Structure 1
């Protein structure tokens, strides 16, 4: 079992990262939170969860242990696979997701692509107590995760770009993560530039 991979960030996109360690490039499926955290880094330590099925051997990568813990919790819910869990983790930072589940905000969960009313209810029912335990023992920190903020100077343009991209049919939560990552990498971009970058990077 692979616990983590520490090495060079060889390739990076909003959905995948390739981390090179000891001459081997490991292709990892990642969330938008991890994408934002890895932006601009030449080397990184990425926590890993292996998902092995008869027809596939997938590696999911996470910038924090908290995110990996929540991924494991989500995939323990009947009907929630790795791809859907990654979508949920792209929509919410770990602390945000813990709060959503704890406060039974099924409407927020239903806003994530692939999560219907029944799945949202199952997530809350199955994980509320588990998340409470993880919060109380410090496994999940209530502090916001790193990498998601938008600088005050960029906020007005960011909101315009988020609104425009959301109107085009992209999930608002996913759009916000990508726009934050874009402006972290290149502060000061105008609205049109943010939208053009966003169209290329949002999956």
Structure 2
């Protein structure tokens, strides 16, 4: 129904973006991949997937059509909803996810919060062979270096927004920043998601 929303980036957080166009602000739920690609921009174009549920109407936004199509493939699997698909795309880049599915690595896939081994295996079985056509030379996001305090604050806030306890998020982010002081916010959150 809606292909994309283009306009002024009014607000940005690791889990959502508000895009203002025509005097209306649209809240779009985004992955960390999309967050890293639109961070610092004033104007954005996000490809959308619109979900109508009994209790809500939601927009999911993506910086590329490839990421949106991957999201759609994920939610086509029984037991995988929009938030789980977004969590998967926040934990693994589209290329990493393709590799996990191609190599049938369900153990690695179940590291995503809220994803059990059976659902991970179901994703691999149902999407095996379907993802090859999605990747037509698109590269993943480039890492963005930041200072430790800003990275700590943003990464911890992102994890709390994604539903992790503040204390656990704080501990994991501090450990990662101690190991790699020049890491980007996106990579910090990805590594944290794998450890939580």
Query: TM-score, normalization: structure 1?
Result: 0.72
Unaligned runs of 5+ in 1: 184-193
Aligned residue in 1 for 2:129: 129
Cα RMSD, aligned residues only:
3.1
Q: How far apart are 1:143 and its partner, in Å?
A: 4.8
Q: 5+ unaligned residues in a row in structure 2: which ranges?
A: 156-167
Residue number in structure 1 paired with 2:37: 37
Runs of 4 or more consecutive aligned structure 1 residues displaced over 3 Å after TM superposition: 141-144
Match of 2:171 in 1: 168
Instruction: Measure how far apart 1:121 and its partner are.
Output: 0.2
Q: Which residue of 1 aligns with 2:140?
A: 145
- Does 1:17 find its partner at 2:17? yes
Cα deviation, residue 108, structure 1 = 1.4
Deviation at 1:150, TM superposition (A): 5.2
How many residues end up aligned between the 2 structures?
166
Say whether 1:180 aligns with 2:184.
yes
**CA distance in structure 2 between the partners assigned to 1:122 and 1:35 by the alignment:** 28
Match of 1:69 in 2: 69
The C-alpha deviation readout for 1:152-182, integer Å capped at 9, x for no partner, is x98xxx9xxx9xx878257x99xx9xx5247
> CA separation in 1, counterparts of 2:55 and 2:81?
14
Q: Distance in 1 between matches of 2:87 and 2:99?
A: 17
With normalisation by structure 2, the TM-score equals 0.75
